[in-house]
Amino acid sequence: MRKSFCTNINLKIVIVLLLFFGFKAIAQNQNEAEKNAVPYDIKWSERMALTILNKYPQAWQLDGNEKPKWDYKMGFVLSGFEKLYQKTNDKKYLNYIKDYVDGMIDSTGNIKKYDIKEYNIDYLNPGKLLFNLYDITKDSRYLEIIGKLRTQLETQPRTASGGFWHKQIYPNQMWIDGLYMAEPFYTQFTVKYEKGKSLDDIAKQFELAQHNIVDKKTGLVYQAWDESKEIAWADKQTGTSPTIWGRGIGWYMVALVETLDYFPKSHPKYKVLAGYLNQIAKNVNQYKSESGLWYQVADKPEKFGNYVEPSASGMIIYAFAKGANKGYLAGSYKSQAKKSFESFIKEFVKVDKKGEVNVLNVSSNVGLGGKPFRDGTNEYYLTAKTKDNGAIGLGAFLLAAIELEK
């Protein structure tokens, strides 16, 4: 009898302890969830940034990366964090950038696994983050890397007419996204450290794109141009790739607005570049959906399987808003950007129970050539997989939100 009584007492104690620690664990989990929750009553830019900090504690984890890499996508998203830090002076945004960069460089001022001989123009894009980091910290490693990336441009292979190859493995080819990867960095460097000696060369890169990558019929841009016309995807008359890609238009417009940020107004090519931006802005406005968004294959909205795509739409919205804010474009583009941004939220944004902002159905990375060979047809772009929270979609939304909140 006594044994049974003691057993019951012990059992009750165990149950009480289990309940106590169970409730404590639940409370801790709830507190953790609340701590990581994103408030609904703050601006979209900070909601997006806080979501990214929660989902990807290290910036190299963006886009589902499994190990650190020096990558243009990280550079694109973190450029938004840089602008947000400048706006809010909140150190967590600066630290997120610094942690990424510091994890990618060694004590002697080298980028881990960087090989200049690849002549990959994508590598320049994260380099933009180093200008402000150096100004803030005076860490000589950042200046060292800025110089090394500038050296890459000094010897970057060029087409016969002077355009930068996209990579060593893509001879004679200019890709439209290469203008974004290189020119804002190149412009900032030459103005800051070279008294603007390379401004004509920078303008030339855009002039080559305008004359060879812009479609004469629509005024929109193809993804790439092979000056030799030898690669299988190239049109035998023009050398262009087959598809007018929505995100490609976004890259071109963002390249222009971010280059103009540093390009002196007194330089004769300033008006030329601003003119290119006004042309593409006017033309792309003719190809938006009824709700004000843009398509994966930008010039064929009616094509079977075509769809409005968030990274393209977000980049164009950002370029419209920034262009209007800076006076590169008419103020009416800011109104257009606001309407399109509202449609973006309805079409692509899902806020979960934690308040985190998810951007849905972002096109995966697409390219040309390589092995297996990517032929660049409309069908190739339309069958590329989509995924939620692709880094370019997150970055485009963040940048657009920042500009629209000004």
Options 177, 235, 261, 352, the catalytic residue: 177
How far, in Å, CA of 302 to CA of 353, rounded?
Answer: 36
Q: Is 177 a catalytic residue?
A: yes
Provide Rg for the chain, Cα atoms. 24
How far, in Å, CA of 325 to CA of 391, rounded?
Answer: 25
Tokens in use for 230?
């030898």
- Which string of DSSP letters, residue by residue, matches 68-135? ----HHHHHHHHHHHHHHHHH--HHHHHHHHHHHHHHB-TTS-BTT--GGG--GGGGGGGGHHHHHHH
Long-range CB pairs of 380-387 (<8 Å, 24+ gap) are 380/243, 381/243, 381/245, 381/296, 381/297, 382/296, 382/297, 382/303, 382/305, 382/306, 382/307, 383/305, 384/296, 386/361, 386/362, 387/64, 387/361, 387/362
Please, how many CA atoms are within 13 Å of residue 59, restricted to the half-sphere of its CB? 31
Please, how many CA atoms are within 13 Å of residue 30, restricted to the half-sphere of its CB? 6
Exposed e or buried b for every residue in 58-92, given b needs 16+ CB within 10 A? ebbbbbebeebebbbbbbbbbbbbbbbbeeeeeee
User: What's the Cα-to-Cα distance from 9 to each of 2, 20, 112, rounded to whole Å?
Assistant: 11, 16, 62
Which residue has 């409370």 as its token pair? 27
Backbone angles phi, psi at 371, to 5 degrees: -130, 120
Which has the closest alpha carbon to 50: 41, 39, 58? 39
Residues tagged active-site: 177
